[in-house]
């Protein structure tokens, strides 16, 4: 169910002011909304493409180093693309991602 704009803006304001410590969001927050000092992003699924994934997890790297965790199931074709983008940007490819690629016989 889509929330009215004023409700979404109020939730974001409460998160920014640290009145609430967790914000659940859709892809609406993937671009253009700056949230300072964000330590952690949790993705409950993979987005439709690697660029969207980078924008999602990029929220943790604006000012400081943060962490991102992504849940996925099985052989996700996007995993190869994410690993490739990480390597191209001199970022570490997590061991869990390497293992998923190997287990699914996705060439990396």
Cβ of 59: how many Cβ atoms within 10 Å?
Answer: 20
User: What fold does the segment set 26-103 form as a domain?
Assistant: Rossmann fold (3.40.50)
Token pair of 44 as six digits: 């409950």
For residue 108, the model assigns a pLDDT of 47
Residues of the chain whose pLDDT is less than 70? 29-32, 59-64, 74-75, 105-108
pTM of the model: 0.72
Cβ of 102: how many Cβ atoms within 10 Å?
Answer: 11
Closest Cα partner for 79 from 41, 47, 31?
A: 47
* Sequence-ordered list of residues with C-beta below 8 angstroms from that of 22, at least 6 positions apart, any chain: 15
* Residue ranges covered by each domain of the chain: 26-103
Token pair of 91 as six digits: 């970022």
């Amino acid at each position: 169910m889509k929330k009215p704009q004023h409700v979404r803006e109020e939730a974001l304001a409460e998160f920014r002011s640290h009145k609430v410590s967790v914000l659940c969001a859709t892809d609406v927050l993937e671009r253009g909304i700056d949230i300072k000092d964000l330590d952690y992003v949790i993705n409950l699924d993979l987005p439709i493409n690697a660029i969207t994934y980078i924008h999602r997890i990029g929220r943790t790297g604006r000012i400081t180093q943060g962490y991102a965790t992504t849940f996925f199931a099985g052989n996700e074709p996007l995993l190869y693309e994410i690993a490739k983008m990480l390597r191209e940007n001199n970022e570490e490819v997590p061991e869990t991602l390497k293992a998923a690629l190997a287990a699914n016989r996705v060439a990396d």
